């Protein structure tokens, strides 16, 4: 096979006939495969099953502080989990609080707090033309939260070092820009870990808005696929150096360490910012689910054991990433119609097809029974102006299903490219 | 002992000497007892311990719909728990959603939603002089939520049938009045169950605000101390009859059925209102903790078993209520300086001391090592104009501790009353 871009019309037509027939064969199989969300598969989830061997043993349901984890209270979460996330995130334990099963919920609530109470300045609600920066391609659920709260979403292009910091530094001079969404390690969906320089430039940002916040969603902080993985510079420490410690709110969770639907979340910030956040939480709840925290503490113990546990996850996930990349290399490289990321961790591969072909590729996949994340979903308002990016989530299907799904995907990428080239 | 109110000065002085000495004796014991919050005691909590015998048996961690309760998704909660709360609350299951461990959190979020997005009218944030009705004495955490969001809190006096509906009907003619807090069964702290007439008047309210909401916190819906307990008319059914079905949002939880800190919560409303609420939730989280729901479903099964389970709770709690009431009768009735409620369920006894004596009684208790809910806490802004009401929470201490604490309390009530009478 030669590059499609070098073929003449008759060669393209011939190739299209062959790809069409390939596609019809896939379609005839009546597949029903889902690659749409970054969801751990059952084997990943079952790695933590022992956590549920609940015994009240010597300490009953008391944690190491003697707090009864079945009863009310304790809005900051239990000591053990605060200590564990402190090590994982490189924060003082007193500046970490543990939440319920969803870090997205913590982020949503933090934006909600900005809206009604602000972060030391007037409530964001009062800024009618409020804006939020959105590195693209990025996480659709992040963008959706700020869209829900009426922010104008401004895309910031990603490169191999992270977001385009020139643009970020320029835009934060506008007082109506209130924050930025970041997934700094193995970013969703690019798999990029922000470079030291990018982290330092975040730490030295001088936003016009006094209440500007970096939403630092370190969702994949321990989610390496190979050995020790990428190293992310500690944003908070850098912020202290530049007197900017109130800038970031840092998030993480065990969703992809233990149970996606029944893990625990964590949030960290400067003392001042954390006090603002706690001031909301104390009205919101009598306390989070400490039993689940206790189970997590007794199962995960410490950073070293978390690392060992994550190696088992990697063993299940790595072959899936490698299978997709390998199919892309054999099926798409020769045709010269796509490129993709090859991340060393996280949950996604970012696939770029010919401009104008992402939606059509997605549609063709769907017709053949393979559900992808909707084209455009990785951009604010679902609008990928180039219509080129597709987020591939290889973790949920079994390896065998994944192989079938990737075959369909590769055929669809070629199909859409040929349609475009033949219609030009 | 005669009524203090009929004693002359010298009799009062003599009695005060005797009560002071009684008080000093209590104080010398160095007690450390807490009656401040409506917290189940360990024995209550342990009634649900079997819930944690987690097995993945035949159905693994799948619910009856085949949903993997360990993985992401399902913002409405699992079918079994929706069905159970539907029966408990008398609502269609499709109009019930299950949340995390805190129904207060659901209420807080609903008010927050009103603030930024409204309920079909403009966001509450836009109503600068927004007001909320607060039956008094009532639940401090309810009042605090609306205080946090900048509502003016308007007290509505409670009587033996529920809130003063004449006043409610008059005040809702003001468009800036956006809602009311209600604990309709065994109200906190009065223990009053709203009469059928009160419920019907709620169902036929004609508020000027199109987005007025009744926050119907049915926290003690199955928390009877005696037999079948009080009967509460179904507000939602009454609302349908009067074409007012969008008026209430109904809340409940298992906090005082299973684990206070690790239960599940429920929220119900008309289809229209529930859709508004779900529209927020879908941005807020990928889904609630379904594992905990599954454990609850497998432990509680159905309404009948919940009722049996609640009888065991009542057996633990009833003697505590009776012990407090019996001490009040022997210690306080003769002195004629206090009256109190005698509820058939719920978590509280509401004690009224002589006007101007609640704070002092509380202070005297504290000095002798007995912590009560702060005087005034049951009123908006913590201001009980008569300084007369004290919320007694008898459930958390052991029966023996409770007896000691009640002795101290009775002495303190007499002490404060005598001080007042002697200074008049």
Neighbours of B358 (CB within 10 A): 26
Mean of pLDDT values over A118-136: 97
Nearest-10 crossing angle of helices A103-117, A140-148: 30
Mean pLDDT, chain B, whole residue set: 95
Taking phi first (over 0 means left), then psi (-120 to 50 degrees means alpha), and beta for anything else, what does residue A164 get?
beta
Mean of pLDDT values over A66-92: 94
- Whether residue B249 has pLDDT greater than 90: yes
- Whether residue A248 has pLDDT greater than 90: yes
pLDDT of B57 reads: 63
- Residues in chain B with CB shorter than 8 Å from the CB of A50 are none
- Residues in chain B with CB shorter than 8 Å from the CB of A255 are 72
- B73–A40 CB contact, under 8 Å: no
- Per 3-state DSSP, chain B is made up of helix, strand and coil in percentages (nearest 5) of 45, 15, 40
pLDDT of B272 reads: 98
Mean of pLDDT values over A71-97: 96
- B280–A105 CB contact, under 8 Å: no
- Whether residue A1 has pLDDT greater than 80: no
* DSSP character at residue A128: T
- Residues in chain A with CB shorter than 8 Å from the CB of B108 are 283-285
- Whether residue B7 has pLDDT greater than 70: yes
pLDDT of A415 reads: 97
Which of B108, B262, B291 lies nearest to residue A70, judging by beta carbons? B262
pLDDT range class, residue A380, cuts 50, 70, 90: very high
Give how far B276 is from chain A: nearest CA, Å: 13
Mean pLDDT, chain A, whole residue set: 95
Question: SS3 of A397, please?
Answer: coil
- A72–B108 CB contact, under 8 Å: no
Largest CA distance in chain B: 78
pLDDT of A412 reads: 96
Mean of pLDDT values over A221-228: 93
- A260–B70 CB contact, under 8 Å: yes
pLDDT of A331 reads: 95
Q: How far is it, in rounded angstroms, from Cα B107 to Cα B390?
A: 25
pLDDT of A362 reads: 96
Question: SS3 of A197, please?
Answer: helix
pLDDT of B93 reads: 98
pLDDT of A424 reads: 75
- B285–A259 CB contact, under 8 Å: no
Neighbours of A132 (CB within 10 A): 26
Which of B70, B108, B257 is the best mutation test for A, with the most CBs of A within 10 A?
B70
pLDDT range class, residue A56, cuts 50, 70, 90: low
- Residues in chain A with CB shorter than 8 Å from the CB of B262 are 69-70, 289-292
pLDDT of B31 reads: 86
Instruction: Count contacts between A and B (CB, < 8 Å).
Output: 150
Which of A100, A109, A123 lies nearest to residue B289, judging by beta carbons? A100
- Residues in chain A with CB shorter than 8 Å from the CB of B72 are 37, 39, 255, 260-261
Which of B261, B278, B285 is the best mutation test for A, with the most CBs of A within 10 A?
B261
Give me the long-range contacts of B78-82 (CB less than 8 A, separation at least 24).
B78/B290, B78/B293, B78/B294, B78/B297, B80/B293, B80/B294, B80/B297, B81/B264, B81/B266, B81/B293, B81/B296, B81/B297, B82/B266
pLDDT of B20 reads: 94
Mean of pLDDT values over B85-113: 98
Mean of pLDDT values over B161-186: 98
Q: Give pLDDT tens digits for A133-167.
A: 999 999 999 999 999 999 999 999 999 999 999 99
- B125–A105 CB contact, under 8 Å: no
- A260–B286 CB contact, under 8 Å: yes
Q: Give pLDDT tens digits for A256-315.
A: 999 999 999 999 999 999 999 999 999 999 999 999 999 999 999 999 999 999 999 999
Q: Are A412 and A335 in contact (CB under 8 A)?
A: no
- B291–A261 CB contact, under 8 Å: yes
Shortest CA distance from A106: residue in chain B: B284
- Residues in chain A with CB shorter than 8 Å from the CB of B145 are 283-284
Which stretch of A54-68, B17-31, B272-286 has the lowest confidence by average pLDDT? Answer: A54-68
Mean of pLDDT values over A368-380: 95
Which of A40, A72, A123 is the best mutation test for B, with the most CBs of B within 10 A?
A72
pLDDT range class, residue B383, cuts 50, 70, 90: very high
Which of B45, B100, B283 lies nearest to residue A71, judging by beta carbons? B45
First to last CA, chain A: 21
β-pairing verdict for B370-372 and A265-268:
unpaired
Which residues have a Cβ under 8 Å from the Cβ of A72 and sit 6 or more positions away?
A286, A287, B37, B39, B255, B260, B261
- Whether residue B48 has pLDDT greater than 90: no
Q: Give pLDDT tens digits for A389-403.
A: 999 999 999 999 999
pLDDT of B2 reads: 82
- Residues in chain B with CB shorter than 8 Å from the CB of A36 are none
Q: Give pLDDT tens digits for A187-215.
A: 999 999 999 999 999 999 999 999 999 99
Q: What percent of chain A has a predicted confidence (pLDDT) above 70? A: 99
What's the predicted TM-score (pTM) here? 0.95
Q: Are B1 and B335 in contact (CB under 8 A)?
A: yes
- Residues in chain B with CB shorter than 8 Å from the CB of A290 are 261-262
- B285–A116 CB contact, under 8 Å: no
Which of A141, A260, A289 lies nearest to residue B71, judging by beta carbons? A260
pLDDT of B312 reads: 94
Mean of pLDDT values over A52-72: 81
Taking phi first (over 0 means left), then psi (-120 to 50 degrees means alpha), and beta for anything else, what does residue A382 get?
left
Q: Give pLDDT tens digits for A351-360.
A: 999 999 999 9
- A69–B289 CB contact, under 8 Å: no
A41 vs B162: which has the higher pLDDT: B162
Q: What percent of chain B has a predicted confidence (pLDDT) above 90? A: 87
- Residues in chain A with CB shorter than 8 Å from the CB of B73 are 261
């Amino acid at each position: 096979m030669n590059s499609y871009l070098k073929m003449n019309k008759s060669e393209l037509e011939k190739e299209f006939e062959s790809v069409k027939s390939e596609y019809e064969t896939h379609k005839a199989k009546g597949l029903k495969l889902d690659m749409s969300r970054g969801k751990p598969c059952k084997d990943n989830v079952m790695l933590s099953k022992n956590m549920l061997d609940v015994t009240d043993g010597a300490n009953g349901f008391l944690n190491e502080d003697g707090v009864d984890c079945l009863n009310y209270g304790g809005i900051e979460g239990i000591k053990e989990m605060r200590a564990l996330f402190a090590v994982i995130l490189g924060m003082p334990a007193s500046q970490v609080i543990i939440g319920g099963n969803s870090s997205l919920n913590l982020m949503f609530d933090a934006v909600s707090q900005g809206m009604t109470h602000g972060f030391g300045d007037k409530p964001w609600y009062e800024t009618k033309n409020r804006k939020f920066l959105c590195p693209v391609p990025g996480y659709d659920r992040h963008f959706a939260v700020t869209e829900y709260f009426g922010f104008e979403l401004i895309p910031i292009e990603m490169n191999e070092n992270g977001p385009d910091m020139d643009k970020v530094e320029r835009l934060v001079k506008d007082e109506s820009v209130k924050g930025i969404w970041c997934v700094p390690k193995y970013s969703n969906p690019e798999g990029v870990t922000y470079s030291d320089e990018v982290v330092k430039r975040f730490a030295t940002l001088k936003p016009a808005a006094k209440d500007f916040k970096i939403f630092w969603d370190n969702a994949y902080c321990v989610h390496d696929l190979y050995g020790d993985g990428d190293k992310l510079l500690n944003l908070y420490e850098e912020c202290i150096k530049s007197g900017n410690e109130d800038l970031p709110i840092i998030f993480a969770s065990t969703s992809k360490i233990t149970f996606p639907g029944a893990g625990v979340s964590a949030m960290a910030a400067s003392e001042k910012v954390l006090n603002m956040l706690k001031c909301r939480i104390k009205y919101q709840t009598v306390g989070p689910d400490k039993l689940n925290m206790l189970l997590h503490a007794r199962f995960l113990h410490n950073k070293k054991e978390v690392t060992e546990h994550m190696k088992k996850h990697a063993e299940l996930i790595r072959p899936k990433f490698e299978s997709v990349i390998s199919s892309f290399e054999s099926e798409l490289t020769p045709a010269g119609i796509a490129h993709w990321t090859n991340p060393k961790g996280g949950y996604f591969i970012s696939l770029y097809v010919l401009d104008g072909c992402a939606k059509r590729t997605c549609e063709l996949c769907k017709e053949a029974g393979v559900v992808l994340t909707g084209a455009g979903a990785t951009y604010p308002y679902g609008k990928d102006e180039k219509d080129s990016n597709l987020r591939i989530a290889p973790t949920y299907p079994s390896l065998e299903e994944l192989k079938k799904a990737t075959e369909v995907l590769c055929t669809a990428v070629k199909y859409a490219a040929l349609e475009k080239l033949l219609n030009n």
